[in-house]
Structure 1
């Protein structure tokens, strides 16, 4: 039997194939050599080389993530911060029907459904505007948020004669002014809360980037109950089985710590402008000045005061590499996009410009590390 290497030589025309054996026992003598030149042999057909697929590193095939906090936002400059994550197509419109009052948190809320059967959570009071902005900026940076919209006026049918909270925001005829409306996704289910001190993303740049975002926006109300884990099934968007979000962003763009005067501590340009952003830094980490200790008046509420002291760690000891990472993402936002986020929350022009300029300066400060 011919060896495989010889067969290759024959195919390439480098050697001649041996003559076929005559079935007769007598061998036929070789013919005399001819003077005519031998024709140039055709090129050998290409050899088929099997494709070898290298096994993945450590022999583990990567799987689709089952839970996410952040997803690459792509071209940040293309994101529309006026309409936010829900876009224009999902903005609330038409009449709404009252379902129930929501007694969670400190700000008054109730649930309605629209003419298409979609549920919305309506938040009244001082948190409505800053939360609308915060959700847009977080979404622009790649973090999961709800579809939030600020609406100057809505009409609610079947509204109770008197709400347990927030009745001062209700006018005759079911008119409610200055609200944030949070859209519930079809198939959405809250699975529980997640903790700042211990969660699946602890120590990752995505979690550390979120900590930086809280400092940029002066979100001082970092209680674990303001965080949520959701499962969304059958939704039109491509979502992992579990998404981690900050479900309450109302205590933003004001002071750096708890103050019982919410008109000062939330969505207040003077408080935001006068607050200190960075506390200190080293060659390896940054300490932000947020959240700070509560106002001294809170000392008379020992339980509230003690519950907020551990939150200080959220803004401390953030690796400088992760600060640079989130800064590179935020750097892509234009000041006009930032203005759109504040315009979407119903602020007047002077406040829009004032807030947007401070956010822009803070992003520039992050880039210095």
Structure 2
């Protein structure tokens, strides 16, 4: 099953911000993960075949702006990658694997524990180093051949708004504690159809680096100061579900686009919870092992994710809140 709407090309949300409309294609947000129990969350959506060739990595250019240091690099085979350095790299690597596991469209990424990048400049902010001139915990991101970035999508104006699968996407954002829901992080990628057939417009949340930290702050005025990312202990301590009222699930979520979380139904939360429940403890742990967390951090993060999954699967029952 594919969540897709056979419609004309998606019109730009704001004509002033778009120079041209995306090509004609079927919008897709989610595809049924029929092989979910067998999915390899260590390798992720790219599998073994798309891993970077680390025999040689060469710096090409710097992407300015944003929280993290990001560089365009080429690997030993000549393939182009976006290398992300800093705190977000681990969190994003693990988050992508959990999103992909339950069927959402994602990019392809891998975490390199120590990357040696020839010609790299001094990073614009402090990052961890390793093995002399190496960079610690670098996320390498790429796209499959033929996939083209054709624009952004809006959280409140898109072909999937108020569908079960869109509600499930919001629940995943809450489960990950991803508080940085900005439109610039939402990308549409066009994938040509096989044999000249109709292509797909794949809707993705492409920057999940602000995950696995703290989002619940009791004093709203301090939220921008106290929120964080990639902090396993804070993530494990953060509460998840608050309560259920009028058939709606309330989360302890204080991130951006918070009003979107006011209309998530019990059925949507339980649906994504049941999908997540099909993941084994090994699969969940592999998502974090792939991101080079320590064994203790893997245990802490995996346990916290499993606890949240259990809350979702039983939402509406006597054990909903914690």
Same fold? TM cut 0.5: yes
SS in 2 for 1:101: strand
Q: What is the deviation of 1:273?
A: 1.8
1:189-217 per-residue CA deviation (whole Å, 9 max, x = no partner) reads 22111111111100111110000001111
Gaps of 5+ in 1: 1-60, 293-307
Alignment pair present for 1:80 and 2:70: no
Deviation at 1:170, TM superposition (A): 5.8
Instruction: Check 1:340–1:235 CA distance in 2 against 1; reply closer, same or farther (3 A cut).
Output: farther
Q: Does 1:110 align with 2:110?
A: no
CA RMSD after TM alignment: 2.6
1:351 corresponds to which of 260, 275, 297: 297
1:186 to 145, 148, 152: 145
Partners of 2:48 and 2:209 in 1: CA distance:
22
Structure 1 residue 319 and structure 2 residue 265: aligned? yes
Higher strand share: 2
Q: Give the number of aligned pairs.
A: 287
**Contact 1:159/1:174 (8 A) holds in 2:** no
Structure 2 equivalent of residue 207 of structure 1: 166
Does residue 280 of structure 1 match 2:247? no
Divergent runs of 4+, >6 A: 61-65
C-alpha separation in 1, matches of 2:177 and 2:198: 29
Larger Rg belongs to = 1
Give yes or no for the alignment of 1:291 onto 2:251.
no
| TM-score after normalising by structure 1 | 0.72
Q: Deviations over 1:289-345 (max 9, x none)?
A: 1135xxxxxxxxxxxxxxx4xx11122220111112111211100111111111111
Could you tell me how far apart the structure 1 residues matched to 2:172 and 2:126 are?
33
Distance (Å, rounded) in 2 between the aligned partners of 1:231 and 1:181: 21
CA gap of 1:208–1:74, structure 2 versus 1, over 3 A, is: same
CA distance in 1 between partners of 2:190 and 2:7 (Å): 22
Question: Relative contact order, CA 8 A, sep 6+: which one is greater?
Answer: 2
TM-score (norm 2): 0.82
Structure 2's unaligned 5+ residue stretches are 1-5, 9-23, 217-222, 316-322
